[in-house]
Chains A and B, each alone.
Chain A
């Protein structure tokens, strides 16, 4: 049966409960990755061993599936006596992988500022710290906002994979309800709406932030 009001009335609170886990995972992942990605990007642009270690890390995590990374952490770590909960395993894997992507966004932003901007600042007698604070970083920030918004949306969607390691996020809730009822369409519509609302919220919030920092290009 499609659009069964009684069923939907029971479904909605369950989906919201799952959505809370999804939101928590997404926010934690994004905030941690903003920092971890910056560390990686700076390490990668420096000289010496830190550069190639960060380089190998970035390539390794970007070229293997998130799901496999979750399995390694969730099943692998418990085998060697270092078990993590499903939530923590999922969070760790999400941060490990997306840190690599965010690092590349930072790198692209830094590279997009013309060397002439550095020269203009130096010619005005700016010291390194002043130059970065008022000339370089504001331009980098303005340029990385659009890809960061995309990454935040991608993170929100990626959190659905924690359902595979028994975390009760909105995806897992939907799976459980589908298997225990015949109202497949209702559940599908419900979970699709939840994700559309979440990703739209990210996109709108990002665009407001972008608008605040915009300058005429």
Chain B
């Protein structure tokens, strides 16, 4: 387990709960198709500052695509995404059809505010751990090297990897690599963090250390959208759980309400299958 002291993290992560509950993420009627397959159908989702939203659902339900549309790694045919009042990807027009695509440069600038952690870590293999964390702040935001490194040390201490700063990613375990990836995303001081099945590629005994780091982040007041298959973790960390199936949001609510007394048959069926599989 990772030793994460909460006074370190509250110093490192700027608490956002204090601010009035302004919407940090607003997705408005986003639709996306791959060929003839509709992956997202008119998705609208609002996440307030400091809120942790966990997205669950069967595979192929569009969860990952939803995350990738938020920071425009995936283009979408319809709809608008707004982060803290600033659009990313498309500027709204007078009517939904008149939205305007932003330039690549503007999209890149908007992505600074969105941290993303991937299932397959995607660390840069040719950079040390420290360099992985400092590269974007220095080259994208122009942070002076000394300050970027100081901040990277704090973040790496928070995820419990102070002793690995000079290593290359290939020498780390999956859990360690994923914690570096979290630190790398946090180094940009994002307003919101997206987690895409970040424990799915890990050995079971390494899952805990990554989840602990995420839990610490949530406690520090970070706004988070988390796609996961870990139901008990979802219950612990989420302020709200969103259930997706077939490209639509079927049901959403407080964790206990959605997990223990869902109102729709589709959620009930999904949870039944899940419990059958994982009952010991």
Contact = CB atoms under 8 A, between A and B. Distances in A.
A123 B124 contact: no
Contact of A125 (B111, B124, B126, B171): B111
Nearest to B139: A130
Interface stretch (A14-22, A28-36, A132-140, A187-195): A132-140
SS of B interface (majority): mixed
A213 to B, nearest CB: 9
Nearest to A139: B126
A124 B185 contact: yes
Contact of A139 (B71, B125, B184): B125
B73 interface: yes
A142 B127 CA distance: 12
A216 B167 CA distance: 9
B122 A124 contact: no
Interface string A117-129: 1011011111110
A116 B124 CA distance: 10
B140 A215 contact: no
A114 B122 CA distance: 9
Most buried by A among B120, B125, B141, B168: B125
A122 B170 CA distance: 22
Nearest to A215: B126
Interface stretch (B43-51, B54-62, B102-110, B252-260): B102-110
Interface string B81-114: 0000000000000000000000011001111111
A217 interface: yes
A123 B118 CA distance: 10
B140 A123 contact: no
B4 interface: no
Interface residues of B, number: 33
Interface string A134-157: 110011001000000000000000
A215 B127 CA distance: 8
B136 interface: yes
A142 B114 contact: no
Contacts of A142: 126
B135 A134 contact: yes
A128 B105 CA distance: 8
B170 A217 contact: yes
Contact of A119 (B118, B140, B167, B170): B118
B73 A130 contact: no
Interface in A58-113: none
Contacts of B126: 138-139, 142, 215
A125 B170 contact: no
Nearest to A126: B140
A215 B125 contact: yes
B125 A217 contact: yes
B109 A125 contact: yes
Contacts of B120: 116
A119 to B, nearest CB: 6
Nearest to A143: B126
Contact of A120 (B105, B124, B139): B124
B104 A117 contact: no
Nearest to A120: B122
Interface in A199-217: 215-217
Interface of B: 71, 73, 104-105, 108-116, 118, 120, 122-127, 135-136, 139-141, 167-168, 170-171, 184-185, 188
Interface of A: 114, 116-117, 119-120, 122-128, 130, 133-135, 138-139, 142, 215-217
Those 10 A-B pairs whose CB atoms lie nearest each other, nearest first: A216-B168, A125-B112, A120-B122, A124-B136, A125-B111, A123-B116, A215-B126, A116-B122, A127-B108, A216-B170
Given A135-B135, A216-B170, 11 more contacts: A114-B122, A123-B111, A123-B185, A124-B111, A125-B108, A126-B108, A127-B105, A128-B104, A135-B124, A138-B126, A139-B126
